[in-house]
Amino acid sequence: MKAYPTDSLCPVCLERIPACRVARGDDVFLEKHCPVHGSFQTLIWQGAPEMSAWHRPKIATQPAVEGHGVERGCPFDCGLCAAHHQKSCTILLEVTRRCDLGCRFCYADARAEDDDPRPETVAAWFETARHAGGACNLQLSGGEPTLRDDLPALVALGRQAGFAFIQINTNGLRLARQPGYAQALRAAGAASIFLQFDGVDDTIYRAMRGRALWEEKQAAVAACAQAGLGVVLVPTLVPGVNTQAVGAILDMALAWYPTVRGVHFQPVSYFGRHPGPPADAQRLTLPELMRAIETQTGGRFQADHFRPPGCEHALCSFHAQYLLSPDGRPRPLHPLPMTPMERAPIRAEEGAARAIGAVARQWAGPAPQASAAGCCGGSGANTGSSQPMALDDFLEAAQSRTFSVSAMVFQDVWNLDLERVQGCCIHVMAPDGRLIPFCLYNLTAADGRALYRR
């Protein structure tokens, strides 16, 4: 049995306590003990590839701007503090708490009614984000951001503040219902739609979101196609509800290519509206998801295609980028197996810079020359051939015919690992302008108390 010490929080009192990642056979558990509230254990890794082999070492960097001095220590001094090991890759701004759905799983504790921050407040957040995050990517979220009638104007303010890549995190209902709305967002400077997308039938949407949404999801993608907005499908995966739909989601994404630029899976985390500790069977770990992708796609997407991240902590995510051949078959754009150079330590800020550029290139709208029909857009470059491609053909294909598959597993109070938190590059801007790692901002104790969110 192998043990890897780290630190965590007690799910009851939210005090910092020692923890260990403990390997038992192919499975790894996070174990921790609070002297007041007892011991806790939860599954964090299951099966191949082994956790010990899944690593991407980084040379730590400090945030560009220290927003809070070290007083109590991690995770209580976020702002970010000098103990953080990574700069911002993406800064998320919640421009509303309102939402037109009442989802069973909601990270943001969205509600039907609330007061939106004023446009001048959001403009000040843009300036703060630019100062603290530099040339990072920006995501406008909520709640449901499209409930704000001035969302296109806010996008334009973000572009004026210097953000080249602005993404909208949305359920897609307004995109589906309002003709011309997608075009208005695109004209304002939005580049990408981060679309809530849990499956391809209404059985799943009724279970996950409380109502039938399949027709509106299709209409939202069609509207984005007309507007030239890139779409990333974002499934929240819940064991027993929609984990069997992984392959169907990828099939649909390929059918909607090149408008759909990729799929970003998010195994469910248990904070916000979900009460009580989850059983291990309610967890979906990264290696389980990699294997499910391979099985459900008949090997078109394979588990050994996926790489640990170069930006966030290695245990947080995986990714792969593909070149689509004329017959629609994905070909990984990196060597197999993983090379020693890929495992060599890199500076954390270098990994962040690469991630910022890669996301902006891949998730933005398709290149103008890409066809809107099918998965074989662009020129007729012979990417299905075993012969080497001409340089011009490769460059065109790399721009217009690439597709990404990725996943990020967020942490809740039961599986929180402070080593992972300190490597986080996805930061939420709190109302007072501090930057908080995404998982900490949404973290709730066993009784629903929040660590940071008001």
The tokens of 111 are what?
A: 């509600």
State mean pLDDT over 358-370: 81
The tokens of 396 are what?
A: 């065109």
User: CA nearest 237: which of 266, 208, 277?
Assistant: 266
Strand, coil or helix: what is 161?
coil
**Angstrom distance (rounded) from CA 266 to CA 355:** 18
pLDDT category of residue 370 using cuts at 50, 70 and 90: very low
User: CA nearest 6: which of 423, 318, 382, 291?
Assistant: 423
Query: Between residues 271 and 219, which one has the greater pLDDT?
Result: 219
302 forms bridges with which residues in the sheet?
Answer: none
Q: Say if residue 144 is exposed, middle or buried (CB neighbours under 10 Å; 0-12, 13-18, 19+).
A: buried
CATH superfamily of 50-365+403-442: Aldolase class I (3.20.20.70)
Question: 15 near 32, Cβ under 8 Å?
Answer: no
Angle between helices 246-255 and 286-296 (to 10 degrees): 60
Q: Is the pLDDT of residue 23 over 60?
A: yes
Q: Is the pLDDT of residue 82 over 80?
A: yes
The answer, as to whether pTM is greater than 0.85, is yes
pLDDT category of residue 371 using cuts at 50, 70 and 90: very low
pLDDT at position 344:
85
% pLDDT > 70, the chain:
90
Q: Is the pLDDT of residue 195 over 50?
A: yes
Strand, coil or helix: what is 18?
strand
pLDDT at position 381:
36
pLDDT category of residue 378 using cuts at 50, 70 and 90: very low
User: CA nearest 79: which of 450, 413, 437, 356?
Assistant: 437
State mean pLDDT over 213-230: 98
pLDDT category of residue 368 using cuts at 50, 70 and 90: low
pLDDT at position 372:
40
Residue for token digits 């080497």? 388
pLDDT at position 130:
95
State mean pLDDT over 111-139: 91
The tokens of 202 are what?
A: 């209404």
**Angstrom distance (rounded) from CA 187 to CA 191:** 10
Could you read off the pLDDT of 145-173 as tens digits, one per residue?
999 999 999 999 999 999 999 999 999 99
DSSP H helical ranges for 134-281 = 151-160, 173-177, 181-188, 202-209, 214-227, 246-255
263 forms bridges with which residues in the sheet?
Answer: 233, 405
**Angstrom distance (rounded) from CA 317 to CA 407:** 5
Angle between helices 151-160 and 181-188 (to 10 degrees): 20
**Angstrom distance (rounded) from CA 397 to CA 393:** 6
pLDDT at position 388:
52
**Angstrom distance (rounded) from CA 249 to CA 436:** 31
pLDDT at position 409:
97
Query: Between residues 114 and 182, which one has the greater pLDDT?
Result: 182
Q: Is the pLDDT of residue 62 over 80?
A: yes
**Angstrom distance (rounded) from CA 171 to CA 178:** 14
Averaged pLDDT score across all residues of the chain? 90
Angle between helices 214-227 and 202-209 (to 10 degrees): 100
Q: Is the pLDDT of residue 206 over 50?
A: yes
pLDDT at position 113:
66
pLDDT category of residue 393 using cuts at 50, 70 and 90: low
pLDDT category of residue 380 using cuts at 50, 70 and 90: very low
pLDDT at position 402:
94
pLDDT at position 271:
81
Q: What is the DSSP letter of 214?
A: H
- 269-278, 397-406, 437-446: which is most confident: 437-446
Q: Which of 12-16, 106-110, 276-280 has the lowest mean pLDDT?
A: 106-110
Query: Between residues 374 and 304, which one has the greater pLDDT?
Result: 304
pLDDT at position 326:
83
Q: What is the DSSP letter of 98?
A: B
State mean pLDDT over 10-20: 97
Query: Between residues 393 and 318, which one has the greater pLDDT?
Result: 318
Q: Is the pLDDT of residue 392 over 90?
A: no
pLDDT category of residue 214 using cuts at 50, 70 and 90: very high
